[in-house]
Each structure stands twice: as structure tokens, then as C-alpha cells.
Structure 1
Amino acid sequence: MAHVGIHSFVWSAASDQKALDRTLERTKEAGFDLIEFSYLDPADVDIDRLAKRIAAHGLGVAISIGLPEEGDISSADKAVAAHGVEILDEMVALTRDLGGNVLAGILQTSHGLQTQMPTKDGWNRSAHTLAEVAARAKRAGVSLNVEIVNRFESNLLNTASQGLAYIETSGSDNIFLHLDTFHMNIEEADAALAIRHAADRIGYFHIGESHRGFLGTGSIDWRAIFDALVAVGYSKDVSFESFSSEIVDENLSRKTAIWRNLWSDNVELARHARRFIDVGMETARRKHELVAAEHRP
């Protein structure tokens, strides 16, 4: 893997300079080598300083967002779709300026519960619009990674196979899948098979438990997940994502229904996650080597 990262909301939802510095320090101390930020506002953050601090800690960086209702690029309202494009272009620039190359999240439509069926026209508008953004992003050295989320957070892309069809519709070579075990556990018939099916179109991967707490304490078949990642030769970034009512972000906590306190010690949570991912991937690699090895007499 390129990097093993952690979502900044494990540490803090604040974006003042002190909080951001502490987030980077804790990320490094817990053994991660990438930090993922969501909803950073370039108008409120000294981006140049933050980029230098990220580099000084030797960390990679990724940005993830969910488009708001007023910025839904699948919308038939041209002003709404145009606003979404503005947001995406701004986030591409932010990713580039922080030294990253991955913009992930719900880029294809607005984030939140929908009460109507998606339409073919909306699908096509979204895919073709995102392809235009992706072309500009490619010139900036940034890939776009559409997150496949559960039915309660989007009505457009809920499975990896839908994501592959969306990429095909877009015709872009700079749009990839952002898969997330929490969402896959809800929507996929078999998460490991979905990983194998998507294979080289996966550009970013979230590791999160079924209840978004400590890894290994929920219902996800982690052995199958790690085996699949190794089997397809996945070598891009993997980031740990976990939410608790201990840390609340207004943009995300309500949309993702974070009502329970699943942890209070984020340092213990993070260190456990890093060990869990390392052991899971190493074990899968060793099994893969044993299966592939020739043992001739």
C-alpha cells in the first residue's frame, strides 16, 4: 500500500491552527503515514502553512467531501450543478496545494438521504460533468474517487458495480472508485467479491467497522476483505475511518447518523486500528505467498 491513513475526525472536528497541528502530531504518533481531511475551508485555513506542516511530519494527505444539496452536479438546475463544479474545482486545488493527489468522497451527487429514485438523465449529467472536472484535476495531478455509499446517504451509487458503470458512462481515465467497508457491509452481496470485481478501478479505500467503532468488534469479515485486497494487488492508500458522538462535526455527524458514543479514547482507538490493519494485511500476504508458492519435491 502507498499509505495507511486516518480520518482527521478521529482526532478533532476543529480546523483552527492549534487543532490541525495536534491532529498531525497524533497521526504521526499513532503510526499512520497519511491524514485525511474533510470539509477544510481554504478561506479559514492557512493552506501554505498546513502543507509545510504535513510535509515536515512526513505525512501524505487526502481530501474527502460530500457535495451539498445546493451543489449537486446531477441536478437539472444549471445553477446548482455549476455550484457543485465550483466546489469540486476548489477541492482539487486544495488537494494539490496541500501536496496530495487524491480527492475522494461523494463527488457524484449530494450527500444525504434522498426520497426519490435516481434518473437516467441525472446519472448522465453527473458522469459527464464529473468527467470535465476530472480532466482539469488530472492536469493538477489529482485523481477523483467517487465514494460508493449506502442507500441512506445517496441514491446514485450504492455498489461497486454501479460505480464501474458510472465510470464507463463518464469516459474518464481519471475517475476511480472510493470503496468503504462500512458501506459495503450494508449494500454488497459479498464485499470481498466486489473488491475483486472492481480490482484496478479502486483508487482509494476506507477501513471502517460495521458500527464505525473499534475494528474487529463488529460484523465485517476482515479476513475476506484483506485477502481480496492482496489478491487484486491493491497498492494505493487505505485510510481508517471511525466516528463517535465524542467528536461532532455539523457537516457530517447528522448526515451519517452518529448518535452513539462508540469510543472516548481516540489514541487507543487509532493505535489499535493501525495494528489491526498491519496484521490483517501481513497475514493476507503470507497466505497469498503460501498459495502461490511452488513446493516441488
Structure 2
Amino acid sequence: MSKIGVHSFVWSAGSSRGELETALDNTQRLGYRLIEFSYLDPAQVDVKWLAGRIRERGLDVAISMGLPPEGDISSADPAIVAHGVDILDRAVALVRDLGGTKLAGILSSAHGKQEHSLSRKGWDTSVAALSKVADRARAAGVTLNLEIVNRFESNMLNTAAQGMAYIRDTGASNVFLHLDTFHMNIEEADVGLAIRHAAGKIGYLHVGESHRGYLGTGTIDFPAIFDALVAIGWDDYVTFESFSTTIVDKDLSLKTAIWRNLWDDNVALARHAHRFIELGLETARLKQALVREAHLPA
């Protein structure tokens, strides 16, 4: 059985106990094995309680985030860099306390459209800061997964190749790529080839459609993506991510330009996505078997 996760914003952008319970219930009921939370504020959520509820359902958990401008670790301002490091350290602690192992998202610079090109100094500043966070994260049993996002959401890591160069510069063993089919569809020359090239450095994966709605209803070549994942032996989570104006989060909806209502029924959406991913991976495995087996006459 494939390991399939779902982003909590498919269910709700809220963090009340009732909303979190519903998100966990829906995740488990529809066959997902991991739930991903974004921008979960420990000041607003009883982390110990939530960790227990996740554990009781037998789910895994991941946390994703994007650094704010005032916490951009590529900044020329040491105070902003220090604030960003503190944000990342607290996020690592949240992952640990929830019983997870993956922190993902835009961790290397501010999340949002930039009005300037990244400088080499900014790159080096970010690498140095993240390397220190990685040392502490390793002690907590947490990996840092750098999301490769499109040009309108970051001026630093837009392709898997750039992410691999950044990882090499950190020299850290617990820093990986967080790939996302929505972003790769915009920036990569060939998404399948990029996945193959990055094999061994991928730590987390988002599957989303070109318009952020139902999988298979946009322009992304999912068979090529599933073929690539099977070819590299990917056996970790494939997490479904989708956004609609039905569910609005103030931190993420504006930055990701969610202007259209692409779905209303989140249960129908999530049920379809789980079937789509499972069938896509199964089909890719069957194709791989066909090209490997000779089937000689008896």
C-alpha cells in the first residue's frame, strides 16, 4: 500500500480542537496515513493533546511553513536572520513534540514574491544559518526539507538542481528537498527527469494540480511523475495538497494567490485524490514490471 498524506488545509484552516479533530478523523477515515499542518501556533494549540490524538489514530505528521519577511535568513540584517533562525528552531521543536520527523516548506528565505535578485552573500548567509538549525534538528530527530517553489514565491530555490546545490553547501546530512508538482510544472525543464536526477536527496513530496484543484483535471503529466517516483524507488510519503477559496488561511492564501473556488466538497476531493495517487503509483509499478520482464515462450 502506498504511503499517502494530506495537507490539513483540505479540511480546515482553523486550529480549534473541534477543527483539528475533524481533520484527523477525515484523514484517517479516507485512508491517508499522514497529516500535514502549516502555520500551527503552539500558543493556540495544546501540542501534547494533539500529539496524543495523532498517535491514537496511528497517523504520521509533518509540519510545513514559509519564513516571513521579518524572518528571512538570507537577509543582510543580522537581526532578521537571527529571528528566522529562532522561528525555524521553534518549528523543529514543534515537529519533535508532535511525534513527527519532517519540517518542510520555504525554509531558506522569505516566502513571497521578491523585487530583487538573490545575491551570493544572501545565499551564503542562508546556508550558514540553516546549517546551524540543521545541527540542532538532527539532535531532535528532525529533517529539514527545502521546498522548491516557483519564481513568484521565492527568489532562491526554484529548481531541484538549485536545491541540491544548496544542500551540498550546507554539508548537512539531514537536509533534503521538498518537491511539489505544482511548482515543478512551472519551473522544471522536465519534471520526471528532475525527480530522477534528485533521487536520494528528496525528503518530502507534494502532489498538486496545475490549478490547485482536482488531480487530473489540469495540465500536469502525472503518469510521467508516477513513473519517475517508481523508477527511483520512492517509498516515502506522497502528500496531496489543494487549495480553494472555500477554505482561506490568511498566511497562505494571499501568498499562493488562491483567488478561485476550485472545490466545495473537500471529502469528495480528498477521496478522489487518494484513489488517483494510489492508482497512478500502482499503474507505474505495473508498467515497470512489464518493461523488466521478458515473458519468453514456454
Shorter-chain TM-score tier:
over 0.9
Give distance in 2, aligned partners of 1:94 and 1:207.
24
Corresponding residue for 1:253?
A: 253
Corresponding residue for 1:55?
A: 55
SS of residue matched to 1:103: strand
Deviations 1:90-141 (CA, angstroms, capped at 9, x unpaired): 0101001101000000000000000100011111111121111111101111
What amino acid sits opposite 1:53 in the alignment?
R
Shift of 1:2: 7.1
Give distance in 2, aligned partners of 1:128 and 1:241.
30
Give distance in 1, aligned partners of 2:193 and 2:274.
24
Corresponding residue for 1:142?
A: 142
Give distance in 2, aligned partners of 1:2 and 1:111.
31
What amino acid sits opposite 1:90 in the alignment?
R
Give distance in 2, aligned partners of 1:130 and 1:236.
24
Give distance in 2, aligned partners of 1:253 and 1:296.
55
Shift of 1:295: 3.0
Give distance in 2, aligned partners of 1:27 and 1:147.
23
Deviations 1:3-61 (CA, angstroms, capped at 9, x unpaired): 31000000000001111011100111121110000000011100000000001111100
Give distance in 2, aligned partners of 1:238 and 1:109.
24
SS of residue matched to 1:37: strand
Instruction: Map 1:1-297; keep pairs closer than 5 Å.
Output: 3-297=3-297
Shift of 1:234: 1.0
SS of residue matched to 2:253: coil
What amino acid sits opposite 1:131 in the alignment?
S
Q: How many percent of aligned residue pairs carry the same amino acid?
A: 65
How many residue pairs get matched?
A: 297
Deviations 1:194-230 (CA, angstroms, capped at 9, x unpaired): 0001011000000000000000000000000000000
| TM-score computed with the length of structure 2 as normaliser | 0.98
Query: Contact 2:113/2:152 (CA < 8 Å) preserved in 1?
Result: yes
Query: Contact 2:213/2:242 (CA < 8 Å) preserved in 1?
Result: yes
What amino acid sits opposite 2:3 in the alignment?
H
Shift of the 2–269 alpha-carbon distance from structure 1 to 2, 3 Å rule, reads: closer
SS of residue matched to 2:245: coil
Shift of 1:238: 1.2
Give distance in 2, aligned partners of 1:118 and 1:209.
28
SS of residue matched to 1:199: coil
Give distance in 1, aligned partners of 2:164 and 2:158.
11
SS of residue matched to 1:61: strand
| TM-score computed with the length of structure 1 as normaliser | 0.98
Give distance in 2, aligned partners of 1:213 and 1:178.
20
Give distance in 2, aligned partners of 1:4 and 1:181.
15
Query: Contact 2:2/2:278 (CA < 8 Å) preserved in 1?
Result: no
Give distance in 2, aligned partners of 1:145 and 1:53.
25
RMSD of aligned Cα (Å): 1.0
Shift of 1:255: 0.3
Query: Contact 1:209/1:219 (CA < 8 Å) preserved in 2?
Result: yes
Query: Contact 1:200/1:234 (CA < 8 Å) preserved in 2?
Result: no
SS of residue matched to 1:193: helix
